[in-house]
Amino acid sequence: MILEALNLSVILNGKKILKNITVSFRGPGVYYILGPNGSGKSTLLKALANLIEFKGSILLNGQDIRKIRRSDLARKIGYVWQNPLYGFFEASVEREIAFILKNLNIPREKMSEIVKFFEIEDFLRRSPFTLSGGEAKRVSIASVIVADQPIILLDEPEAEMDLRGLDCLIEYIKRNKHKKLIIVASHNTIFAYKLRKVLRKIIIINDGRIVRVGNAELLTDRDLLREVGVMPLDWWEE
């Protein structure tokens, strides 16, 4: 599984948001895109899932993703929105999670496992729009990864999660690190640190450009992190 961007640029509303990015993600493995607010993390994930227009190319196992049928791409790449409310449209949590299975002709049995894993049994009959922030986050992740795609793009998955939610999420990432290509995007250096042992690479982006690619040791470079605009790990102790 190789997902790569070659000379990727994205222009939104006349403004260049991603500026000639070339990067490759080789699965199975876990990658972390780290950068400050507005640096282009979500835009990069959306481009990788072919959800927005872009210049340059994005290749999935060497094939241009623009030439892959939507339904085939949906079977291969799962994209979880940063804001869960952007992804919700069904009347109940149960239907929200079942939607992708129905759409992609996947047996419904998959659902109970994920529902149990993310501990969402109690609100299956509720409207997803009535959920608390952390509950919504868990449901939005479950409603995508239930389709068991080989590539999973997680946009700030840790946001709003409490300890229990974080433990579920981290367990999911650990269990799948040898099976899937997982790309996490966040400004959160503490979450990156928590994942340090499973991360293949950290990709630091700022102002639409990749400024550094390296291993978890990048998290100890406090000057670099500060310069880019994300919290150095010892920030809380200052």
Ligand X SMILES: Nc1ncnc2c1ncn2[C@@H]1O[C@H](COP(=O)(O)OP(=O)(O)OP(=O)(O)O)[C@@H](O)[C@H]1O
Site string for ligand X, 5-44 (x = CB under 6 A): -------xx-x-x-----------------x-xxxxxxx-
Nearest distance, CB of residue 175 and ligand X, angstroms: 26
| Tokens, residue 121 | 């049994």
Closest to ligand X by CB, 177 vs 187, is 187
Give the C-alpha separation, 145 to 167, whole Å: 16
Question: For residue 208, which of 3, 48, 37, 82 has the smallest C-alpha distance?
Answer: 37
Q: Which of 10, 25, 39, 42 forms a contact with Mg ion (CB under 5 A)?
A: 42
Burial class of residue 237 in the structure, from the number of CB atoms within 10 Å of its CB (0-12 exposed, 13-18 middle, 19+ buried): exposed
Q: Is 149 in the site for Mg ion (CB under 5 A)?
A: no
Closest to Mg ion by CB, 90 vs 207, is 207
Give the C-alpha separation, 82 to 46, whole Å: 11
β-bridge partners, 2: 26
12 and 53 in contact (C-beta within 8 Å)? Answer: no
Q: Is 39 in the site for Mg ion (CB under 5 A)?
A: no
Among ligand X, Mg ion, none, what binds residue 187 when CB lies within 5 to 8 Å by partner kind? ligand X
The β-bridge relationship of strands 199-206 and 209-214 is antiparallel
CA dist list (Å): 123 to 40, 74, 235: 33, 26, 37
Site string for ligand X, 118-157 (x = CB under 6 A): ----------------------------------------
User: Residue 117: in which H helix or E strand, if any?
Assistant: helix 110-117
Enumerate residues 67-96 that contact ligand X by CB under 6 A: 82
Q: Is 82 in the site for Mg ion (CB under 5 A)?
A: yes
Nearest distance, CB of residue 83 and ligand X, angstroms: 9
Residues that bind ligand X (CB under 6 A): 12-13, 15, 17, 35, 37-43, 82, 187
Residues that bind Mg ion (CB under 5 A): 41-42, 82
